[in-house]
Structure 1
Amino acid sequence: MRFSSSQKDVFTLAAVCMAALMFGLEISSVPAILPTLEAVLLSSFNDLQWIMNAYTIACTMVLMAIGTLADRYGRKRVFMISLVLFGMTSLSCGLAQNNDVLIASRFLQGMAAGAMLICQVAVLSHRFQSAAARGKAFSAWGIVFGMGLGFGPIIGAGIVAVSSWEWVFLVHAPIAVLALGLVIAGVDESKDPQRRRLDVLGMTSLSLAVLGLSWFLTQGAATGFSTREAMFSLLVAVVSVSAFVLTQRRGVDPMFDFSVLRIPRFSGALVGAAAMNFSFWPFMIYLPLYFQNSLGYSSVGTGLALLAYTLPTLVVPPLGERLALRYRAQVVIPAGLFTIGLGFWLMKWGSSVEQASWLTLLAGCVLAGTGLGLTNTPVTNTTTGSVPSERSGMASGIDISARMISLALNIALMGFILVEGTLSSLRSQMPGVVDEEQLRALAQNISAGNLSAAGQGAALAHGFGWVMVYGAIAAWVLMAVSGWIFWRGKRSTYGVECRP
């Protein structure tokens, strides 16, 4: 059966949005059930971190390779395979009966999700080539992605309340089947005529670098950074980063084209992409733990409270896109990052008052979500629009890799900061305790929500305050870097134009 061009536009956009919905739900609904997993599966704080980080690390491992494979063998073909695998691995997550199986299944699910995500951006960029059509398509994509993110917390909490945590994962199977049908019906195949080779060495070295550094931050915080295992993981990360840079600069057909970093619009937007994952997204993992363990809300109450943090990501992206078209991305992206940082400062203030509640955090949560909504779509549209359309797979691969690498590292880093902040408070409460190992183990247990004595809730709130300060500073520092790159590009352009 043949479809018209307009019908294929609808099917393509619907398929991509369905995949975006699943990806968005998987990010925001799973953190909402972490306290439940801690109780049902007896998960430790490290287990909870790896349940989330196995997914993000796996995404990072495949992103650049999938961008190349999609460019070479067909974006539609790779998109279909990724949907099938995402549905299967979601079933595996839902059937897991212990932490080890769940973490392994999340790793496999993350690989499928990374492939699915990279194809979404590449398929949209190829199908909608004009600036106006692309802007509308990415706005719709951002809205649906925001729907998954915005309603994910309450959906996850609601599923746990009426059924069980397993269905937070199992629900993706029928959605994946529906999305697969839409891809078959409406997406046209597209490839990169250059047919680049798969950079196995580059993919392996990048994956080992992210895994090594994430392991160093996560396990080192629990067992000590000077242990043999921690030092070995750090060494692996350093060597792998060096090998990755060397292979990409000297390789005949590298997956990471460093030359695109000389495009100011691309680089400025790339910093903005990373900045969101130094602040907003990794804190999504820990905010449910704060509401439930520090403020004492139920799972449903936590899901409702999180809506203030996530719903702005649903309603603001169209505004961000319109502002970018009117005032340019180099203005909107730094402004969005500034708003995220301001939101984190307000959350820090709201968590420090004597009777902290969701009301005292409301303004900060809304402001941080608004900043994310202003930044996200302009960042994606700018990175993919700064290179020729036939290189959209590579560009979107770099964009999403920057996001996922920074997310994976900051999930681990924020967890470390949370434990250190909690530990600092415990030291002041119990000055007579000299066993540092015992005190650190207690801080780990408190961070996971195991509160067994008076004063431990205050210690946990103190730790979350440290994390909020880190998120604010990170957003503002990277805002300055992004703005400086955009400004340099503008000044260079004017300099060229003014030459006689």
Structure 2
Amino acid sequence: MRWWALSAVTLGTFMTYLDNNVGNVALPTIQRELNLTLSGLEWISASYILVFAGLMLVGGRLADVFGARRVFVSGLAVFTLASLAAGLATDGTALIAARAVQGIGAAFLTPTALSLISQIFPDPAERGRAVGIWSAAGALSMALGPVTGGFITENLQWGWIYLINVPIGVATIGLALWAVRPAFTRVRHRLDLPGLVSSTVALFALTFALIEGESRGWTSPEILAALGLFAAAALTFVLVEARSAEPMIDLSFFRVRIFSGGLASMGVWSFGVFGIYFFSALWLQNVLGFSPTQAGASFVPMALLMAVTALQSQRISALFGTARTVALGLAMMGVAIFMLSGVGADGGYGDVLPWFLLYGLGAGLLVSLTAVTLGAMPAGRSGVASGVLNVSREVFGLLGITVLGAILNGRQSGSTQPPLLAFLDAYQFTLIIAAAIVMLGVPVALLTLRTPRKQPQAASPELVGSAN
């Protein structure tokens, strides 16, 4: 029964990750059929990630009060219904709104996954295997998402990239209700409303400024106001969390070196993965002339290698240490991104594949971060810490799309070359910036993720493997 329960948790997480990847290949088609600008395309992804990240800690808190199983199933239901609305959308506004509601469902679903795995597998060794399977499923979604999205876009109506979530969601709800036991202790908690509001306002204001800055003008009143609102809301959030009895994010977490280093490393990883997937789908089709199916299939070897490496990442980390494993993974990603920037308009898949494979190998090595980062926290705090880790991943993923999008937009609009060459030049320049940012994570990992060689395994129930 435990493995059936893990299947339900993994399927739910797989569905949210698949949804992020399945739509990227369809972006050029959606742009044409709904007559959207590049910033409109960015909002399709950003609206989902923005709501997801803004409400994820709330989802974790609700799970503490009402039980992880109940919140998990509720999140699945919301996500499934919103997927139906997204698939039936006939204009950009309706699609962006539906994607935002999907973010609400994902925010309830995702933070409960690790909590449920901890409940289902109390033994640390079994939990390590379960986390590896769960992580590999997320990586596998990166393989199936693009190729599924490409096939649907080329052979069906693009709305089916979201409608496929409906039968998967219904089946997963049934499996979760049957296999996952509702074990929880009801605890009295207060919702940190000021923290929720200030963090959400800060994220929205920054996202709006980064996405709309190029089209509206970086010195326009709207963008300057958005940046000012971001600064004020971010400062308010820090002050509120420092004084709150039950903060959304306990700022004392960041004094734990391994936890802070893990967050930074995960953030850099997410920045690269989200940003590169989003813009490479446009590049493969608009510049290299791939069909949607071909573009989707191009990502499959990279994502499969990522999934295979993810399954072995705990063992590799135990042998060589998390610090060196994570640093190597980030270095591989950075080199791969930089080398992709050299592929010209006359390039083919043979020029792309080696660097996609190197990227997948490096990205898969970072899966060991989850267990080690949570293992550095005191007993009883791993649930909240996992929520912070998930938020970090999504926020940095959002920045990957918006920051790299702002750079690409700015470079492209300032070019006097033909549109195709302008996009290629902007994309290549953006990749160089992304590679530099990812490489910054290498020294961070080496300096912060080192632990004593003989660290006791029983120090924390969440720790799987050792690192040095």
Instruction: Tell me, yes or no, whether TM beats 0.5.
Output: yes
For 2:269, the equivalent position in structure 1 comes to: 276
Within a 5 Å distance, the mapping from 1:35-434 to structure 2 comes to: 35-191=28-184, 195-349=188-342, 351-352=343-344, 355-375=346-366, 377-388=367-378, 390-424=380-414, 426-427=415-416, 429=417
For 1:485, the equivalent position in structure 2 comes to: 448
* Cα distance change of structure 1 residues 366 and 380 upon mapping to structure 2, 3 Å threshold: same
Aligned to 2:249, the other structure's residue is in SS state coil
Deviation at 1:192, TM superposition (A): 6.3
Q: Aligned equivalents of 1:209 and 1:191: distance in 2?
A: 33
Percent of pairs identical after alignment? Answer: 27
Aligned partner letter, 1:185: W
Q: Aligned equivalents of 1:185 and 1:166: distance in 2?
A: 30
Deviation at 1:286, TM superposition (A): 0.9
Kept after mapping to 1: 8 A contact 2:273/2:397: no
* Cα distance change of structure 1 residues 219 and 19 upon mapping to structure 2, 3 Å threshold: same
Q: Aligned equivalents of 1:384 and 1:485: distance in 2?
A: 14
Q: Aligned equivalents of 1:417 and 1:312: distance in 2?
A: 29
Q: Indicate the structure (1 or 2) with the bigger Cα radius of gyration.
A: 1
Q: Aligned equivalents of 1:325 and 1:134: distance in 2?
A: 15
Aligned to 2:24, the other structure's residue is in SS state helix
Q: Aligned equivalents of 2:347 and 2:248: distance in 1?
A: 48
What do you get for the CA RMSD once the two structures are aligned?
1.8
Q: Aligned equivalents of 1:471 and 1:139: distance in 2?
A: 27
Q: Which runs of 4+ in 1 moved over 3 A?
A: 190-195
* Cα distance change of structure 1 residues 152 and 160 upon mapping to structure 2, 3 Å threshold: same
Deviation at 1:291, TM superposition (A): 0.4
Per-residue Cα deviation, 1:31-87 (whole angstroms, up to 9, x for no partner): 010011011111111110000110100101111111111122211110010011111
Kept after mapping to 2: 8 A contact 1:265/1:330: no
Deviation at 1:478, TM superposition (A): 2.0
Q: Aligned equivalents of 2:200 and 2:305: distance in 1?
A: 33
* Cα distance change of structure 1 residues 325 and 140 upon mapping to structure 2, 3 Å threshold: same
Deviation at 1:173, TM superposition (A): 1.0
Deviation at 1:358, TM superposition (A): 2.0
Given candidates 423, 429, 433, the residue that maps to 1:460 is 423
Kept after mapping to 1: 8 A contact 2:142/2:299: no
Deviation at 1:290, TM superposition (A): 0.2
Kept after mapping to 2: 8 A contact 1:63/1:401: yes
Q: Aligned equivalents of 2:349 and 2:106: distance in 1?
A: 32
Per-residue Cα deviation, 1:439-495 (whole angstroms, up to 9, x for no partner): xxxxxxxxxxxxxxxx332221111111211221111112222322224x659x9xx
Aligned to 1:22, the other structure's residue is in SS state helix
Kept after mapping to 1: 8 A contact 2:271/2:398: no
Q: Aligned equivalents of 1:277 and 1:230: distance in 2?
A: 26
Aligned partner letter, 1:358: Y
Deviation at 1:411, TM superposition (A): 0.8
Aligned partner letter, 1:400: N
Per-residue Cα deviation, 1:162-187 (whole angstroms, up to 9, x for no partner): 22111110111111111111211222
Deviation at 1:262, TM superposition (A): 2.0
Deviation at 1:191, TM superposition (A): 4.0
Where does the alignment leave 5 or more consecutive residues of structure 1 unmatched?
1-6, 430-454, 494-500
Kept after mapping to 1: 8 A contact 2:66/2:186: no
Q: Aligned equivalents of 1:129 and 1:240: distance in 2?
A: 40
**Higher mean displacement: 199-208 or 263-272:** 263-272
Deviation at 1:109, TM superposition (A): 0.6
Q: Aligned equivalents of 1:190 and 1:346: distance in 2?
A: 49
Instruction: Figure out how many residues of one structure are paired with residues of the other and give that number.
Output: 454
Aligned partner letter, 2:349: W
Q: Aligned equivalents of 2:389 and 2:217: distance in 1?
A: 33
Kept after mapping to 1: 8 A contact 2:324/2:445: no
Deviation at 1:190, TM superposition (A): 4.2
Where does the alignment leave 5 or more consecutive residues of structure 2 unmatched?
456-468
Kept after mapping to 2: 8 A contact 1:288/1:306: no
Kept after mapping to 2: 8 A contact 1:67/1:394: yes
Q: Aligned equivalents of 1:10 and 1:389: distance in 2?
A: 25
* Cα distance change of structure 1 residues 15 and 249 upon mapping to structure 2, 3 Å threshold: same
Deviation at 1:320, TM superposition (A): 1.3
Q: Aligned equivalents of 1:490 and 1:257: distance in 2?
A: 25
Aligned partner letter, 2:283: Y
For 2:24, the equivalent position in structure 1 comes to: 31
Q: Aligned equivalents of 1:469 and 1:321: distance in 2?
A: 30
Q: Aligned equivalents of 1:271 and 1:328: distance in 2?
A: 17
Q: Aligned equivalents of 1:273 and 1:331: distance in 2?
A: 15
Aligned partner letter, 2:257: P
Kept after mapping to 2: 8 A contact 1:23/1:148: no
* Cα distance change of structure 1 residues 199 and 283 upon mapping to structure 2, 3 Å threshold: same
* Cα distance change of structure 1 residues 193 and 336 upon mapping to structure 2, 3 Å threshold: farther
Aligned partner letter, 1:155: T
Aligned to 2:182, the other structure's residue is in SS state coil
Kept after mapping to 2: 8 A contact 1:205/1:244: yes
* Cα distance change of structure 1 residues 192 and 486 upon mapping to structure 2, 3 Å threshold: farther
Kept after mapping to 2: 8 A contact 1:271/1:478: yes
Aligned to 2:299, the other structure's residue is in SS state helix
